[in-house]
Chains A and B, each alone.
With several copies, the nearest count.
Chain A
Amino acid sequence: MKARIEIVRRPEIADPEGVTVVRALHDLGFSEVTRARFDRVISLEVEGMSTEAVTARVEDMCRQLLANPVLEDFRVVIDP
Chain B
Amino acid sequence: MIIEDEETAPVETSSVHHQLGLTDDEFDRIRAILGRDPRPAELAMYSVMWSEHCSYKSSRVHLKRFPTAAPWVVVGPGENAGVIDIGDGWYVALRIESHNHPSFVEPYQGAATGVGGIIRDIFTMGARPIALWDSIRFGPLGQARNRYLLKGVVAGIAGYGNAVGVPTVGGEIGFAEHYSNNPLVNVMCLGLMRREQLVLARSGPEGTRAILLGAGTGRDGIGGASILASTSFDAASSQKRPSVQVGDPFEEKKLIEACLELYERDLVIGVQDLGAAGLSCAASEPVAKSGMGIDLDLDLVHVRESGMNAVELLMSESQERMMAFVDPSRVEAVLAVAAKWEIDAAVVGTVRDHGNVLVNHGGETVAEVPAVSLVTGAPNYERPLGEPQWMEDLWSNTVKFVAQPAIATALLQMLDDPALASKAWAFEQYDHMLFLNTVIGPGHDASLLRVKGTDKGLALSVDGDGRLCYLDPRRGGARLVYEGALQVALAGARPLAVVDNLNFGNPEKPEVMWQLRETIEGISEACEALGMPVIGGNVSLYNETNGIDIYPTPVVGVLGLAAPLPSPPPRLDRALAGMELWLFGTEWAINLAGSSFELVTFAHIGGRPTAPDPTAGRAALQAGQMLAQEGVAPVLHDVSSGGLALAVAEVAIASGVGVTVRYSDWRHLFCEDPHRFIAAVSPDAAIRVAGLAAQASIPAAPIGEFGGNEIVFDRNGIRAALDLGVATSTWSQALSRRLV
Q: Which residues of A contact B (CB under 8 A)?
A: 12-16, 19-20, 23, 27, 68-71
A-B contact count (CB 8 A): 35
Q: How many B residues, CB 8 Å from partner? A: 21
A14 to B305, CA, bound (A): 9
Closest to B242 in A: A12
| Chain A contacts for B318, CB-based, 8 A | 14
| Most chain B CB neighbours (cut-off 10 Å) among A14, A15, A16 | A14
A46 to chain B, nearest CB (A): 19
List of B residues within 8 angstroms of A27 by Cβ: 740
What is the bound-complex CA distance between A20 and B246, given in angstroms? 14
CB distance from A39 to the nearest CB of B (A): 15
A interface footprint on B1-40 (CB within 8 Å = 1, 0 otherwise): 0000000000000000000000000000000000000000
16 contacts between A and B (CB under 8 A): A12-B219, A13-B244, A13-B246, A14-B215, A14-B248, A14-B319, A15-B246, A16-B246, A16-B250, A16-B251, A19-B304, A27-B740, A70-B105, A70-B109, A71-B109, A71-B244
A14 x B241 contact (CB < 8 A): no
A14 touches B106 (CB 8 A): no
Q: Does B82 contact A (CB under 8 A)?
A: no
Instruction: Point out the residues of chain B lying under 8 angstroms from A69, CB to CB.
Output: 241
Query: Which of A12, A15, A69 has the most B CB atoms < 10 Å from its CB?
Result: A12
- Chain B residue nearest to A70 (CB atoms) is B106
CA distance A70 to B215 in the complex (A): 22
Residues of A contacting B109 in the complex (Cβ-Cβ under 8 angstroms) = 70-71
| Majority secondary structure of chain A interface residues (helix, strand, loop or mixed) | loop
Answer whether residue B218 sits at the interface, using C-beta atoms and an 8 A cutoff: yes
Q: In the bound complex, what is the Cα–Cα distance between A12 and B740 (angstroms)? A: 27
Q: Which residue of A lies closest to B219 (CB)?
A: A12
CB-contact partner of B106 in A16, A19, A68, under 8 A: A68
Cβ-based interface call for B521 (8 A): no
Given contacts A12-B242, A14-B304, A71-B244, 6 further A-B contacts (CB under 8 A): A12-B218, A13-B246, A14-B245, A14-B318, A68-B106, A71-B246
Asked whether B598 is an interface residue with its Cβ less than 8 Å from the other chain, the reply is: no
B residues with a Cβ closer than 8 A to A are: 105-106, 109, 215, 218-220, 241-242, 244-246, 248, 250-251, 304-305, 318-319, 342, 740
Instruction: Give the Cβ gap from A22 to chain B, nearest Cβ, in Å.
Output: 12
Complex Cα distance A15/B305, Å?
Answer: 11
Query: Closest 4 A-B residue pairs measured CB to CB?
Result: A16-B248, A14-B246, A70-B106, A70-B241
Give Cα A23 to B740, complex, Å.
10
Give Cα A13 to B218, complex, Å: 9
Which of A14, A19, A20, A70 makes the CB contact (< 8 A) with B220? A14
Taken together as a complex, chains A and B put the C-alpha atoms of A15 and B318 apart, in Å, by 12
In the complex, what residues of A have CB within 8 A of residue B740's CB?
27
Q: How far is the CB of B339 from chain A (nearest CB, A)?
A: 13
- Chain B residues whose CB sits within 8 angstroms of the CB of A19 once the complex forms: 304
Chain B residues near A20 (CB, 8 Å)?
Answer: 250
Smallest Cβ distance from A69 to chain B, in angstroms? Answer: 8
- Distance (Å) between the CB of A11 and the closest chain B CB? 9
Please report the C-alpha to C-alpha distance between residue A4 and residue B244 in the assembled complex, in whole angstroms. Answer: 27
Chain A residues in 8 Å Cβ range of B105: 70
State the CA gap A20–B250 with chains docked (Å): 9
Report the bound CA distance from A66 to B318 in whole Å.
26
Query: CA–CA, A66 to B248, complex, Å?
Result: 20
Distance between Cα atoms of A19 and B318 in the complex (Å): 15
Contacts of A14 in B (CB 8 A): 215, 218, 220, 245-246, 248, 304, 318-319
A64, B397: Cα distance in complex, Å: 41
Contact residues in A for B246 (Cβ distance below 8 Å): 13-16, 71
Please give the distance in Å from B127's CB to the nearest CB on chain A: 25
B564, chain A: closest CB distance, angstroms: 43
* Complex: chain B residue closest to A68, CB-CB: B106
Tell me the complex Cα distance, A13–B224, Å. Answer: 13
Which chain A positions have C-beta within 8 A of B219?
12
State the CA gap A69–B318 with chains docked (Å): 20
Q: What residues of A have a CB within 8 angstroms of the CB of B305 in the complex?
A: 12
Complex Cα gap A57–B219 (Å): 33
Which residues from A are CB-within-8-Å of B248? Answer: 14, 16
How distant is A28 from chain B, measured CB to nearest CB, in Å?
Answer: 8
A46 vs B305: C-alpha distance in the bound complex, in angstroms?
Answer: 18
Chain B residues whose CB sits within 8 angstroms of the CB of A23 once the complex forms: 342
Known: A14-B218, A14-B304. A70 touches B250 (CB 8 A): no
In the bound complex, residues from chain A placing their C-beta under 8 Å from that of B241 are 69-70
Measured between alpha carbons, how far is A13 from B244 in the docked complex, in Å?
Answer: 8
A residues near B342, Cβ cutoff 8 Å: 23
Chain B residue contacts of A15, Cβ below 8 A: 246
Contact B251 A70 (CB under 8 A): no
In Å, the complex CA distance between A19 and B219 comes to 16
